[in-house]
Structures are given as C-alpha cells and as structure tokens.
Amino acid sequence: MTNEMETVERLTLENDTLRKRVAELEETVRQRDRVTQTIIDHVPALIFVMDLEDTYSHTSQSCAAFMGRQEVSEIVGHNAREFFPPEVFASWRENNRLVAAKGEAIVAEESGPGEDGVQVYRSIKFPIRDSEGTIRWIGGIASNVTAERRAEERLRESQARAQAMLDASTDLLLLVDLEGVVVMANQAAAGRLGCSPAEAVGMRDVFPLDEPARRASLVEEVRRTGTPARFDAARDERWFEVTAYPVRGGDGLPARLAIFGRDVTEQRRAAQEQRRLQEQVIEAQRLAIQEIGTPLVPLTDEAVAIPLIGAIDEVRAAHFLETMLRGVDARGAHIVVVDVTGVSDVDAHVAEVLVRAARAAKLLGAEVIMTGIRPAVAQALVDLGADLGGVVTLASLQDGIAYAVRGKGRAPSPRRGVRA
C-alpha cells in the first residue's frame, strides 16, 4: 500500500511539473506570436498567411485595414473570397495555386480596390511547409506600388507627348552621350538612319556625327566653351545646318549633346538658282551696256558712225570690232566714223584696238574717220607709237559726220554684197 501511495504521489508531482512546463511553453509561444505580430503590424506592407483553401491563418494589421477591418482577429479564420470582388479573388487565387504547384516563390503585380481607385501591389508569394516538408500554407508580402506605377505612367505619357512633338518636326533631333551613343532620336533623324526612333537608341557614331574625329572635336569644343557648336553636314545629296548644344549633368559639366540638324537643301538650291539667275541678269545687262556703249549709227547709205564711251577692255574691244565690221558688211558702208571723244583713257591696248579697227575696215574697202582725239589722247598715241597711217582724223564728231555726208574721201568702188 505504501508503494502504491508513493507511486501516486510521484506521478502527481510529475504531472504537475509537466503541466507547468506545458504552460511555460504555451506562454513562450504566445510571447513569440505577440512579438511576431507586433513586428509585422509595424510593417507597411501587407503580410498574410493562408492555407491552400484560401483561409487566413495570419495577417498584419495593415492587411486587416486594407480589407476594411479594425482588428486582425476579424480576418484570421476567414476565407479570402469574403473580402474581395470575384474577379480580384480569382486573380490572386491563381497566383497562390501557381506557388503551390511550383513549390517556390514568385513575384507578381496584383491589383485590388482602394479608396482612390484600383491599387497596384508588388507581391512576393512563397510556399510554407510543415515538419514533413509538405506545402500547407501560402505566405505573402505585398507592397503598394500604385504611386510609382502612376508616376511611371505619367512619365510614359509625358515622354510620348514629347516624342510626338519631336516627331512632328522635320528637323533632325538627336540626344547622344559624349561617346556618340544615341539616347533619343525623333522620326526625322531615325528616317535618315533607316530605322525607327526606338531602333536608333543605342546606335553609335551616326549621322551627322558619323565621323569620330568630328564628334571628338565637338565634345572638346563644348567642354571648353560651354556654348553650342555649329557645322555643316551632307548626306545623300542633302545639306544640313547642324547645331550641337551641351546638356549638362549634375556636376554642371557637359554630359550629353543635343543635336539639331536642319535640312537646308532647298534653300541652298534656291540660292544657287538665284545666283545663276543673277549672273544671267548681270551678263544680259553687260551685253546691253555693251550694245549701248558701242552703238552703230547710220549716217547715209554708205556711211556709219560708232561713238566710243568709257573704258575699253578686251570684251568691249572685241564687241566694237564685231559691231563695226558687221555694220560695214551689212550696210555696204564705205565710210566709218569712229568717235573717241568719250574714251576715258588711252593706253597701248586702246591704241591697238583703234589700229586693228582701221586695218579691218580697210580690208572690207571702207575708210575710217577718227574724231574727237583730244591733245592728251594724241600725245598718248604718239608716245605709244600707234600707226594710224591711212586714217583720217578730224576734230569733232560733227566734222566727221559732215565729212561723211558730203561723200568726201576716196570714190566708192563696187564690192560684192554692197548695195547701190
């Protein structure tokens, strides 16, 4: 009997000790759960654990608030379909099934309702296994990235608008780094490169910076001066006026080059055409002036007069001889009155022209009457040794005309092609 009582007392003591140990362990677990819950409640991300049937076993306070509940206890033990629209629940549940099937974590963007519209979350979902290695739960950490995605969308829209504005320009617009790599290109520039604006990004040493030496020179110039650099470039028989603007980085130094190339082909062609037309006008004016400056004046059926005015260069000399000989031949003239009253200067060239005119007229059977030789001109002719033998000289054009009209000089002789 004594032994039995001792055994009962010993078992009772061991049982009390065991219950006390279990209570201590349970308290330790509760403390750990409180610590864990406190930690996850202070994390702004949504944290949750659910079984494979989509029932929550753990959630953070932020997750409860996201689902419109005050306490975590209002979420734990409930199924996710109770809190979300069917289409949202179906999308999230599909990702949970994917984690369970793959047995590894995934990262996905998931959408959910919010006070100011649809919210976007970057979710990390991962499997949780039991002691035997079997997947029993799905854990998740979801961070709200709505602001970032909206900012990115605004940035994309802004870039799209900027790209559309740039593409509307017929000028070549490029943004390149200092190594000549394209960062941005508009449609006009990409078209010259034979690609799309997106395909142009990353290309190196492209028109109008396709010459590395030119690019290096531009980089050095904008670094040194900090001001735009300008140059001309040509491609496929097109001409461009190019300006390279420095784009500064955070340190205030040029980090990129903004290239603006304007196609000036039509303007240059128009300018060339204008110059050609101007040259034609000038030539026509010159010829007209020559005609005016060397007129052939009929005096009688057999006499003509040619007054010379101004300086006589080689072109005017040739025109004078041609006019005189053509007039003599066409009119059958026997007397040519050459008036030099208006000749501004007499040099060896002018003297030679007068001598050649007299000889040429003589070969056609005509007599040359030279009028208006001033004393200074006469002295110049003597000093130059001009041979005017056979040339009748009179004081004035009036005297020459009177001489020609009276018919003085040698008697006319019949010539072929001469009119009566």
Kindly list the structural domains of the chain, giving each domain's residue range(s) and its CATH number in brackets, ordered by start: 29-144 (3.30.450.20), 153-263 (3.30.450.20), 294-406 (3.30.750.24)
Quote the pLDDT of residue 415: 32
Quote the pLDDT of residue 7: 75
Q: Kindly report the number of other CB atoms within 10 A of residue 193's CB atom.
A: 19
Quote the pLDDT of residue 48: 92
pLDDT in tens, the chain (420 residues): 567 777 777 777 878 788 888 777 777 777 777 766 677 777 778 899 999 999 999 898 888 888 888 888 899 999 999 988 888 889 889 999 999 999 999 999 998 777 777 889 999 999 999 989 999 999 999 999 988 988 988 988 888 888 888 788 889 999 999 888 999 999 999 988 899 999 999 998 888 888 888 888 888 888 888 888 888 888 888 899 999 888 888 888 888 889 999 989 898 888 888 888 888 877 776 665 555 556 788 888 889 998 887 777 777 778 888 888 888 888 888 899 988 888 767 677 777 778 888 888 888 888 889 898 877 777 777 777 777 767 888 888 888 888 888 865 443 433 333 233
